[in-house]
Structure 1
Amino acid sequence: MTRSPVVLITGSSRGIGAATALYFAKHGYNVCINYKADLANAMLVAEKVKRLGVEAEVIQGDVSLEADVLALFMHIDKVFGQLDVLGRVDLWWLNLQQCVWFLGKAELM
């Protein structure tokens, strides 16, 4: 059985992030919904994603904080064991070099 790919969309509890999460869900991706403060909206997005026949995982975290980013990646690894796509709606927070560093650091924990 082939596992569905997994996408993390930062800031996906509303707006462009929510629309991006739904886009990936429509294309068969399991979706990690990241939110900073709006749990209610994140849960609504998760329900919409699940109605499209894929899994949704809601994860709180402030992506401007290193500890939260590490926890985010570790949570995804624990639940899905993989991350195929990183959707950065708030583009300023993480460049590729930082992402590789975070992933490497999370792997060591």
Structure 2
Amino acid sequence: MTERKVALITGSGTGVGAATALLLSQQGYNVLINYSRSETEAQASQADCQAAGADTLLMQGDVAQDADCKALTQAAIDKWGRIDAVVNNAGISTFTGAANWDVLDMDTFSRIYAVNTVGAFQMVRACAPHLKMQKGSVVNVSSIAGSLGIGSSVPYIASKGALNSMTLYLARALAPDIRVNAVCPGLITSRWFVDGLGQAGFEKVKAMSESITPLERANSPEDVAEAIVWLTTGARTVTGELLLLDGGVHLGGSKAQVPSKPA
């Protein structure tokens, strides 16, 4: 068994997943980098992690397939003999918007739910015995969509709401040996949103979001990664937490002012 801790991060070829893999590598972890389609980007993520001193494993896999989740888990155990952290970052959506919510079919809904919710469940189930041995942790990458009911599509919102509820359940079920938390970001300045909205659409949504957000900024992938790594490497008494990373959107927007006593 390796002395370095080991993290398995799904969807870690790009964006938040890649940023998390790099930051954990810099903190002394070996990392399994998983991707479904972005092989070239995943190879770049792997190279960055290796340059930071990590031993790495690069694997393609679809978390919606239970066999792939088991294969990812077994590969990490075969290589390093341990799993200390799982970051369930793999996620998909469709950008239909509120005006077209009723055009979605069952296949689209089911596929999004299978990746975003069932995939996270299957990864936790596969890794739980190994996490328990290391007193490890799980961080689910959710969204304010699941907390506030806003987002790119109905199935995405529903899948993240279910992921939040599942996080609470698993935090109870796996205590005291495994901590389970979720981060719930708002808008992220990543390729995922640009691919879904187009560059012009993304810039419009970003400007709108920043105009109504108290902190007047969107998340970078690194912002989200920092929160994930804190929940992974520190936060020893934190479990069952749904950490909002939304710049204060849940407060009702920057225009809401706290009244002050007249001079």
TM-score bracket for the superposition, by shorter chain length:
0.7 to 0.9
Q: Which residue of 2 aligns with 1:34?
A: 34
1:23 partnered with 2:11: no
Find the aligned partners of 1:99 and 1:39 in 2 and give their Cα distance: 24
Query: 1:45, CA displacement in angstroms?
Result: 0.5
The letter for the 1-side match of 2:53 is: G
User: What SS is found at the alignment partner of 1:94?
Assistant: helix
Q: Which residue of 2 aligns with 1:45?
A: 45
Count matched residues.
102
Q: Which residue of 2 aligns with 1:71?
A: 71
Q: Which residue of 1 aligns with 2:57?
A: 57
Q: Which residue of 2 aligns with 1:81?
A: 81
The letter for the 1-side match of 2:7 is: V
Decide which moves more: 85-94 or 37-46.
Answer: 85-94
1:99 partnered with 2:130: no
Query: 1:99, CA displacement in angstroms?
Result: 2.0
User: What SS is found at the alignment partner of 1:75?
Assistant: helix
Deviations 1:9-43 (A, max 9, x none): 10000011101111101111001000011211111
TM-score by length of 2: 0.36
Query: 1:71, CA displacement in angstroms?
Result: 0.9
User: What SS is found at the alignment partner of 1:46?
Assistant: helix
The letter for the 1-side match of 2:124 is: C
* Highest RCO, 1 vs 2 (Cα 8 Å, sep ≥ 6): 1
Deviations 1:68-105 (A, max 9, x none): 1111111111111111000111353323x8623x2479
Amino-acid identity (%): 33
User: What SS is found at the alignment partner of 2:33?
Assistant: strand
Structure 1 residues 104, 21: closer, same or farther in 2, change over 3 A? Answer: closer
Q: Is the 8 A contact 2:69 2:123 kept in 1?
A: no
| Structure 2 residues not aligned, in runs of 5+ | 91-115, 130-263
Structure 1 residues 104, 42: closer, same or farther in 2, change over 3 A? Answer: same
Find the aligned partners of 1:51 and 1:98 in 2 and give their Cα distance: 27
Would you identify which runs of 4 or more consecutive aligned residues in structure 1 move more than 6 Å? Answer: none
The letter for the 1-side match of 2:25 is: A
The letter for the 2-side match of 1:94 is: A
Cα RMSD, aligned residues only: 2.1
Find the aligned partners of 1:98 and 1:4 in 2 and give their Cα distance: 21
